[in-house]
Structure 1
Amino acid sequence: MLTVTVDSAPVAEVLSKLLGRLDDLTPAMASIGQELESRVSGRFETETDPLGHPWAPWAESTKESYPKDGNHRILDRYGDMLRSLNSRPDKTSVRVGFGAVSSKKGKDAYAVYHEWSTEHMPRRGLLMADPDAGTLAPDDEQAVLDILGTFLVPASI
């Protein structure tokens, strides 16, 4: 399984405050997981990466080999990868991913190829703005901060 840690000073700061006040962040982590799942799912519809850039079109070889009964959408041949999108929250973190989070084999590797690219496959980002740096897109990071903020306010009362 692939693990990517998000590098965000603002998120780390809010999480630190929450962890100082609450023993179990599972509800917050579940909300974050659901939000990120929704955002990734939307990217399959818009065929754009987290920064809003269009995914690269299919290579000619992909067009030629595409099954006639497929969905004819980038990254959505039969919908298997999107169906395997899920999240798993715990007390201090949330895992969002394809296949591996739900133990379905094969889908996680395919998603990794698109998240980072390969020698023969262009990057078609799904979750990270920059997977090497471990950064979310600004809109995604703000959504995470907004969710955490809703849990921070009641904790400070």
Structure 2
Amino acid sequence: MAGTRIQVDVKGGAKITTALNNLLKQSGDLTPVFGEIGEYLLESTQQRFIEQQAPDGTPWAELSSTTMERKVKQGERTDRILTESGTLASSLHYMLGLNQLELGSNEEYAAMHQFGGITSSKSMMQGNEIPARVYLGIAPFEREEIINILQYHLAKAF
């Protein structure tokens, strides 16, 4: 052959094949990695109740005067939002599937606090507007940590 050429010799083909097969196995069942991500997000989401802020860092809406008055009458702390008894934060849990992770609460009122809305006629505060106080979601720093967790687990295949 005239001119120039390049020759590639693959050494360690069996090791490369093994590593690629391990990577496929690792990415086939992500339950272990989702478990780690679930634990991380659970703790991080519960921290929002302490910091009283949404995943994007915006503070939750202040308590209404009606809620403040009720809390004073019942002898509760008036400086905490979404934490009367701590049930909502402690009810957070995650569920794993083969290729999925779900994080949330099974409390009836959880969606009202996440999305906001008008309370029903059966509510203790009938017909009141509840502002959205977003506690579920993924903050930018959490996204980075999730990527790090995924990279770590997939790198173990090599």
Partner of 2:117: 118
Distance 1:69 1:98 in 2: 27
> 4+ runs of 1 displaced by more than 3 Å?
18-21, 69-72
Q: Identify unmatched segments of 5+ residues in structure 1.
A: 1-17, 100-106, 129-135
CA RMSD of aligned residues (A): 2.0
What is the aligned residue count? 124
Measured against aligned partners, the alpha-carbon deviations of 1:8-45 in whole angstroms (never above 9, x if no partner) come to xxxxxxxxxx9844332111011111111111111011
Q: Is the alpha carbon distance of 1:69 and 1:94 closer, same or farther for their aligned partners in structure 2, counting shifts above 3 Å? A: farther
Structure 1 residue 145, shift from structure 2 partner: 1.1
Say if 1:70 and 1:78, in contact at 8 Å, map to a contact too.
no
Structure 1 residue 71, shift from structure 2 partner: 4.7
- The TM-score normalised by the length of structure 2 is 0.70
Distance 1:55 1:86 in 2: 21
Measured against aligned partners, the alpha-carbon deviations of 1:43-98 in whole angstroms (never above 9, x if no partner) come to 01110110111111101111122262545421011111111111122221111111
Which of 53, 62, 72 lines up with 2:58 in the alignment? 53
Larger radius of gyration: 2
Which of 136, 139, 143 lines up with 1:137 in the alignment? 139
Partner of 1:154: 156
Distance 2:40 2:23 in 1: 21
Say if 2:93 and 2:103, in contact at 8 Å, map to a contact too.
yes
Partner of 2:102: 95
Q: Identify unmatched segments of 5+ residues in structure 2.
A: 1-21, 119-128
Q: Is the alpha carbon distance of 1:82 and 1:69 closer, same or farther for their aligned partners in structure 2, counting shifts above 3 Å? A: farther
Say if 2:33 and 2:149, in contact at 8 Å, map to a contact too.
yes
Distance 1:111 1:19 in 2: 38
Say if 1:114 and 1:125, in contact at 8 Å, map to a contact too.
yes
Distance 1:19 1:69 in 2: 57
Say if 1:19 and 1:25, in contact at 8 Å, map to a contact too.
no
- The TM-score normalised by the length of structure 1 is 0.71
